[in-house]
Structure 1
Amino acid sequence: MKSAHILNGDWKEGRSSIKTTLSIIVFEEDENYVMYCPALDLSGYGKDENEAYESFKVVLDEYFRYTTNKDTLKIDLKSLGWHVPKSKQKKASPPSMQHLLSTNDNFCRIFNDHAYKKIDKSFDIPALA
């Protein structure tokens, strides 16, 4: 279970999941709604916000499934700018928005070129490790 403990959230053993909150940027592009999480560099899209949200949840689930199965979650989060402590008892923390704007060209483009809203969403992420 080493990968499951590095997210910023609450471990729920009975449900085998981690509850975490992620900042999501919602905007429209090419007649689609996009939900983009700059801290993970993941997005989902759809014809409306609900469809985009459902798409994002699928992408997020597949991301965590893949990285935990390959035991690369910790490495991937570090490469995205997360602070990942060596101790499993301490929680990982995502990079600041300022850091993301200076290092993530896609997020910078969205920030500068689109009308958007930022929402914080809570997710139950399956504990797959």
Structure 2
Amino acid sequence: MASKTTSQIGKLPEGISVRIAVYSYITENTQAIYAPALDLYGYGYTETEAWQSFELALEEYLTYTAENQTLADDLRRYGWQVDEDRQRLTPPGLERLLQLYPDFAETILSRPYQKVDRTLYLILNNRSSRALAA
């Protein structure tokens, strides 16, 4: 499985831990890894390559949102509930994700897949910030 990744994130309270569902499936002879709560994909010829690709996409996403300080707004756009005062992040549930992403709904209804829960640890340190994906 994928190793831990350190990345940049935007303005959110320190120490927030969130669980997201990540789906692994085969499409057109390619392994795909998809996190619908973030609308991020990774692809590869093997599952290991797909996880590496996914980790890179996650790192780039978190770096971009950190540099632009847009993570909270971006998560809201993806249907997350963001309560910065209470330090809570809630990703959208499966039903909402199926509504938001019809292609995702078709994928999990028409092909074998494996669901893995991932925990993202979002940590702020003064001016710099990072996220650890476990």
The verdict on a shared fold, with TM-score over 0.5 as the criterion, is: yes
Aligned-partner SS, 2:91: coil
* From 106, 112, 118, the counterpart of 1:115: 112
Q: 1 or 2, which has the higher strand percentage?
A: 2
Counterpart position of 1:77 = 75
Counterpart position of 2:48 = 50
Q: Which amino acid aligns with 1:27?
A: Y
Counterpart position of 2:3 = none
Question: Is residue 104 of structure 1 aligned with residue 101 of structure 2?
Answer: yes
Deviation at 1:46?
Answer: 0.7
Aligned-partner SS, 1:98: helix
Alpha-carbon deviations, 1:41-88, whole Å to 9, x = none?
00101111111111100000000000111111111100100000141x
Question: Is residue 68 of structure 1 aligned with residue 76 of structure 2?
Answer: no
Q: Whole-Å Cα distance in 2 between the matches of residues 76 and 6 of structure 1?
A: 18
So what's the TM-score if we normalise by structure 1? Answer: 0.80
- Tell me the matched-pair count: 118
Runs of at least 5 residues in structure 2 that lack an aligned partner in the other structure: 1-8, 130-134
Cα distance change of structure 1 residues 56 and 125 upon mapping to structure 2, 3 Å threshold: farther
CA RMSD of aligned residues (A): 2.3
Cα distance change of structure 1 residues 119 and 46 upon mapping to structure 2, 3 Å threshold: same
Q: Whole-Å Cα distance in 1 between the matches of residues 83 and 47 of structure 2?
A: 35
Deviation at 1:109?
Answer: 2.1
Aligned-partner SS, 2:42: strand
**Preserved contact between residue 98 and residue 105 of structure 2 (Cα < 8 Å):** yes
Counterpart position of 1:3 = 11
Q: Whole-Å Cα distance in 2 between the matches of residues 105 and 7 of structure 1?
A: 33
Q: Which amino acid aligns with 2:119?
A: S
So what's the TM-score if we normalise by structure 2? Answer: 0.77
Cα distance change of structure 1 residues 62 and 79 upon mapping to structure 2, 3 Å threshold: same
